[in-house]
Amino acid sequence: MASKRVTDNQRLRAVILAGGWSLVGLLGSELLAVPLIGTVLFVAGPLSDTVYYSVTMVASGIGMVALAGAYFWLHDHTVDYLDVKWPSLREIGYSVLGFLALFGALIVVSLLTQALGVQTADHNVTQIVEESGSVEIYLVLAVLSFLVIAPVEELFYRNIVQKSLYETFSPRQAVVIASGLFALIHIPVYLTNGLGPLLTTLPFLFVLALVLGESYRRTRNLTVPILIHAVFNAVQFLYQYLVEVNDLATGTGLLS
């Protein structure tokens, strides 16, 4: 809980540090993934597009976990700082409500963008699938959403970035600030679509992070936002797969 004696300079410093760690999580994990990917290529030789992208995602996840470990070490945190517990029935209820809220928001965004004739930005994985023709990537990512993507992102952006702000801000303020940072660090993923679609997509990513952050604040259990994030991503990946294999209209493009 933030103290009333916290100064504006301390608050600004906390936001800058949180933003810095957000960038470290994104860029650092990709840099750390390079030698891991190189090792796999050296040992296994050329890989299919699906396997290569899967290895890339796993390697990035390992890199982000390593950076989380570095954060714990630098701040003298023990494993007790990690808020992972088996969810209670109440917390499972929060997970279901969080997913429904996000799915409802996704439907609203889709209807609004269609009515207004504007586009949301496609995730870079959509472009990779289109260029490679490997639609199986979506199926692999649906599984990795539970095993890698959601766990490592929630560990870093909720248990580290959001929680680090609790010392200088109220928990609710920390949720809002961390959610803004979460949306902003996704800009490189969507920037190739152009400025217009990017500006349409960022508010939804902010809402996504708000739901995840608030579920974490209320339960103090990282498992809850992990479940929400994983199921939400997996549903979208599976939907995109069905769109591709059945030659349907365009998908949502709001994968996170």
C-alpha span between 145 and 142 (Å, rounded): 5
Judge if pTM exceeds 0.85: yes
Q: What is the pLDDT of residues 118-174, one digit of tens each?
A: 677 666 787 788 888 889 999 999 999 999 999 999 999 999 999 999 999 999 999
For 13, 39, 97, 113, 242, the CA distances from 58, given in Å and listed in that order, are 32, 13, 29, 33, 24
Q: Supply the pLDDT for residue 14.
A: 96
Q: What is the pLDDT of residues 213-234, one digit of tens each?
A: 999 999 999 999 999 999 999 9
- How many CA atoms within 13 Å lie on the side-chain side of 36? 19
Mean pLDDT calculated for residue range 47-54: 93
Q: Supply the pLDDT for residue 1.
A: 52
Tokens at residue 166, please? 């609790």
C-alpha span between 112 and 46 (Å, rounded): 43
Cβ within 8 Å of residue 248, ≥6 positions away: 242
DSSP for 5-41, please give it.
Answer: T--HHHHHHHHHHHHHHHHIIIIIHHHHHHHHHHHHH
| Cα 136 from chain centroid (whole Å) | 21
Q: Supply the pLDDT for residue 79.
A: 93
